[in-house]
Homo-oligomer: A and B are copies of this chain.
Amino acid sequence: MTSGKTDRRLGEFELIAALFAPLSRNAPGAFGLTDDAAVLVPPLGHELVLKTDAIVEGVHFLHDDPAESVARKALRVNLSDLAAKGAEPAGYLMTLLLPAWPDMAWLEAFAGGLAADQAEFGLSLLGGDTSATPGPLAISIAAMGFVPQGQMIQRAGATSGDCIFVSGTIGDAAGGLAVLKDAKKTHTSPELVARYRVPSPRLQLGRALRGIATAALDVSDGLVADLAHLAKSSRVRMVIDAAHVPLSPALQHLWGSSADAISRAVTAGDDYEIAFTAPASQRGAIIDAAARCGVSVTEIGRVEAGEGVVLRDQGGKDVPIVRGGFTHF
């Protein structure tokens, strides 16, 4: 890590660098974070998949979230994109914008969260930058993965007649955030809170979908908003069967399973599941892949000619989408 100009007491960034250097241990090209840059070589026949995503205190995580979970979320929101693209994680660069409040214990726990996830997902810190900031804590990560040449699963590729699938369950993170933000503390739900704080990047599933999925992306802005991205890139219409949207028991306990709850779930963000399309002939292969990866996959609709996203009830009527994801494009 190099250090930004700062009025922090001299040497503090040196300690931080010392804290993070062990995270580069398994990457010889990181030079133990003692050089100015890192070196990375894709394996023969592979290409590099690159993604950057930042999380900001008060915007993407809460000040009181545990340091470990902040670290894991910062890394996992990037890994989730690599997963949806069918890539295998290799390494990451990290920029840490540090206000005055995180003390060394917080930073140690933060590094511990990264170390745990590196071990779980098989990647290494390759380099970073730490800078003081008068603003909120922010972590920007640039993640690198490998895919066999030409096999990245793109957004453009869904065709009319394909089925639409989604991994896991939808709306849990939004439920978790609602629980955390409820001043009256009328509910507790450790499962939902965990889903908000620490997403589960579906890396194994994503790799299994290479050659099967026609298009894919990770659900971060909300299922409807993200399927709208797929629809736009693929120039098709996505029709979602509202009754098939998978809601977890924990979320149903919190919100019920009315049309309103479904509408809320599909327009919330932070799911970090994979939404993808594939021809009906691949259903068997998808069921096998899901079983092998230990992740549920649900068929939630079909691709038609046209544009946009439609949420349809069991009677075949369009359900009004009351609120999009946080942004629509």
Contacts and interface: CB of A to CB of B under 8 A. Distances in A.
A17 B229 CA distance: 13
Interface stretch (A149-157, A284-292, A294-302): A149-157
A177 B87 CA distance: 44
Interface in A91-128: 91, 93-95, 97, 99, 126-128
A212 interface: no
A59 interface: yes
Oligomeric state, in number of copies? 2
Contact of A37 (B56, B81, B126): B81
Given A13-B327, A54-B95, A135 B132 contact: no
Contacts of A34: 155-156, 232-233
Contact of A138 (B51, B97, B144, B156): B97
Contacts of A233: 34-35
Contacts of A5: 59-60, 269, 326-327
A191 interface: no
Nearest to A50: B38
Contact of A6 (B147, B327, B328, B329): B327
Given A3-B329, A50-B93, 4 more contacts: A4-B59, A52-B94, A52-B127, A95-B95
Query: What range describes how many residues of A lie at the interface?
Result: 35 or more
Interface in A1-22: 2-6, 10-11, 13-14, 17
A221 interface: yes
Given A36-B85, A54-B97, A97-B54, A138 B138 contact: yes
A241 interface: no
Nearest to A99: B135
The CB with the most chain B CB atoms within 10 A, among A35, A53, A329, is that of: A35
